[in-house]
Structure 1
Amino acid sequence: MKREELYREIGLIDENLIEAVGHSGTEKRKKSISKKWVVLVACLILYSSTASALLATEYYKNQNSEPYIRYLRAEDMELAPVTQYDAEKFLHALKSDNEEHVYIAINRLVECFNDQKLREKALKELQPFLENDNQKIADAAAFAIDILSKSYRSPLIFKLADGSILFTLFNNYSDYGSQNVLWRIKDNVLKEYSSFSPPSMYITDIIPSPNKKLVAIVTCSNKSEFVQIINIEEGMTSPELVESARVKYGAQKELDTWIRTDYENYSYADKIVWKDNDTLEFEGSLAYQDTAIIENVTVAYQFSKKVIEVKGLSESR
């Protein structure tokens, strides 16, 4: 019942009470008053219940329109279980007329390495692609077969001191390099070892140390290059060395060293070599104030001691 109707009801009761007083007999007045008061109390109860329900509805409506989330996990944002790897999907894609789909499927089929039946099926289905007119597809098939057959003869496969092997997929798919994911086979089991976040979008080189215990990984964007050293067995990594050299040399020469929000450095590494089993050296082209200033340097990093040395190129000769 609305508030106006309630007030009107109260007004009617007042009028009836006045009218009742005009009649003779105490009993009539009592009956009239009793009846009207029952109506009044009932109306008040009904109004109170309706108002409470409306307030509750409005409260929960506001609660639902303003969610409170303390922390978002990756799986929460999926809103559903993440789809598991489906080799059959990629086997089917090999029959596609779309060469890009075929190329993707060939590379992804390497991931069925751990399932013997699927691995054998993939090996059979990949054989015809060795003679494909598209060289990129033929090369991808040759590499996938090399992995799935456990031959490990490709120069793009790196055998390490601990008996594991390291490689990337989608080798040189871009003008910039390969997919930015490292895969590792250890004890006959394939796992994704590591991946790199932007701006390290492509892997350009994998360079093991002479004793094959450390690996230098060179990554790039279309603007910058980056170098890291990884001890694959122990899971230890160096800082990113190009940016580290840029910051250190900038401090030495009192140059403004701006760090961009996208972490691009507009700097490059060249002639990357292992001086010994622990020390990596390279020549760097380091950019300051975007590219207003370019400094050519030599960089040496000793992994065990976490020491970096940066010298102007002319100083080191």
Structure 2
Amino acid sequence: MRREELYWEIGQIDDALIEAAEHSGAKGRVRRSRFSKRWIALVACLIVYSSTATALLATEYTKNKAAEPYIRYLTAADMELAPPVKYEADKFLQALASGNDEHVYIAVNRLVESFNDPQARELALQKLQPFLTSDSAKIAESAAFATDILSKSYQSPYLYKMADGSILFALFNNYSDYGTQNVLWRIKDDVLEPYFSFAAPSMYIKEILPSPDRKLLAVVTSSNKSEFVQILDVEKGTISPELVESARIRHGAQRKLDTWTRSDHENYSYPSQLVWKDNDTLAFEGSLAYDDTAVIENVSVTYRFKDKVMEVQPVK
């Protein structure tokens, strides 16, 4: 077959066409090369944009997280959305002239809190004088107690002078048939402050008994159903477990008795005859209730404060 015929059979391609095709292919590759570089640049831009957007979103997220309120603990005062109530002596001074015995009694006791302000203390002492001879025994006794503290005489038997030089006491002494207000106050370095408040169901302080060396303080508290005992180390600021319930649980386990625990922490049990055996050991008799008060066990209890050791023995 001749060359011309072969070209015809395969599409009439001659050398000129092949050469033209070669030139055309080279240009196409150039265009494709240029086209690829443009795509690379575009992809790079998209990557930069994506990284920037991610960084901005992360920054905004961090700002939003930082703007969230941080609440560690909510007190009752916090939830009132109001400033805490501050002590105002004037309110209680005015109550002295109210003619209402209950208001007067409360005011007389609360005026003790004027202790840290010299001017307020002197004014309270003046205003309390007429109430020392009140016809109400409760008001007269409270006025005498408040005067003893505000004048810094410290002679009242309701004041407990401790080894570290502090003085502890409670206000509203024996205001109820069940006892005294359940808050201990302390004067130390000539500064008055609330020292310890007993939680429910310890609604009243019934008895306070310092250890012989005046380093520890045994406190009997009560509700109208149960009584409780705790020991405070005033100087170190430590406190024992509640001893009546501890004795009830220990004795109940030893005797395999039904030792229920109520949600209100009432146990219908009572201590009596508290006495310090030495500077560290407190002893008392206990009447312990079990099986929904169907069973009453009488026991003798000793507690060593330093070693945290309790012994409970049945009383026959």
Task: Note the residue ranges of structure 1 that are not aligned, 5 or more in a row.
Answer: 1-67
* Separation (CA, whole Å) in 2 of partners of 1:199 and 1:83: 25
Amino acid at match of 1:280: L
Amino acid at match of 2:204: Y
Amino acid at match of 1:266: Y
Give how far 1:291 is off.
Answer: 1.0
Give the match for residue 122 of structure 2.
120
Amino acid at match of 1:78: E
Give how far 1:290 is off.
Answer: 2.2
Give the match for residue 266 of structure 1.
268
Secondary structure of residue in 2 paired with 1:184: strand
* Separation (CA, whole Å) in 2 of partners of 1:185 and 1:144: 13
Amino acid at match of 2:258: D
Task: Note the residue ranges of structure 2 that are not aligned, 5 or more in a row.
Answer: 1-68
Secondary structure of residue in 1 paired with 2:176: coil
Secondary structure of residue in 2 paired with 1:80: coil
Give how far 1:190 is off.
Answer: 0.2
Give the match for residue 201 of structure 2.
199
Amino acid at match of 2:196: S
* Separation (CA, whole Å) in 2 of partners of 1:149 and 1:279: 35
Give the match for residue 178 of structure 1.
180
Give how far 1:295 is off.
Answer: 0.1
Give the match for residue 287 of structure 1.
289
1:33-92 CA distance string (max 9 Å, x none)? xxxxxxxxxxxxxxxxxxxxxxxxxxxxxxxxxxx9977611421211012100010001
Secondary structure of residue in 2 paired with 1:82: coil
Change (3 A) 1:72 1:232: closer
* Separation (CA, whole Å) in 2 of partners of 1:168 and 1:236: 19
What aligned pairs does 1:160-309 form with structure 2 within 5 A after superposition? 160-309=162-311
Is 2:137 the counterpart of 1:135? yes
Q: Which of 58, 80, 83 pairs up with 1:81?
A: 83
TM-score (norm 2): 0.77
Amino acid at match of 2:265: Y
Amino acid at match of 1:286: L
Give the match for residue 110 of structure 1.
112
After superposing on structure 2, the runs of 4+ consecutive aligned residues of structure 1 that deviate more than 2 Å are 68-72
Give the match for residue 13 of structure 1.
none
1:252-309 CA distance string (max 9 Å, x none)? 0000110000000100000000000000000000000221000000000000000000
Is 2:146 the counterpart of 1:144? yes
TM-score (norm 1): 0.76
Amino acid at match of 2:223: S
Amino acid at match of 2:236: E
Q: Which of 93, 96, 99 pairs up with 1:94?
A: 96
Give the match for residue 56 of structure 1.
none
* Separation (CA, whole Å) in 1 of partners of 2:179 and 2:226: 13
Secondary structure of residue in 2 paired with 1:233: coil
Aligned-pair identity in percent equals 66
Secondary structure of residue in 1 paired with 2:256: coil
Is 2:311 the counterpart of 1:313? no
* Separation (CA, whole Å) in 1 of partners of 2:70 and 2:192: 37
Give the match for residue 30 of structure 2.
none
* Separation (CA, whole Å) in 2 of partners of 1:307 and 1:78: 43
* Separation (CA, whole Å) in 1 of partners of 2:236 and 2:292: 36
1:160-189 CA distance string (max 9 Å, x none)? 000100000000000000000000000000
* Separation (CA, whole Å) in 1 of partners of 2:140 and 2:273: 30
* Separation (CA, whole Å) in 1 of partners of 2:234 and 2:72: 32
Give the match for residue 52 of structure 2.
none
What aligned pairs does 1:9-28 form with structure 2 within 5 A after superposition? none
* Separation (CA, whole Å) in 2 of partners of 1:287 and 1:267: 6
* Separation (CA, whole Å) in 2 of partners of 1:150 and 1:276: 31
Secondary structure of residue in 1 paired with 2:212: coil
Change (3 A) 1:95 1:291: same
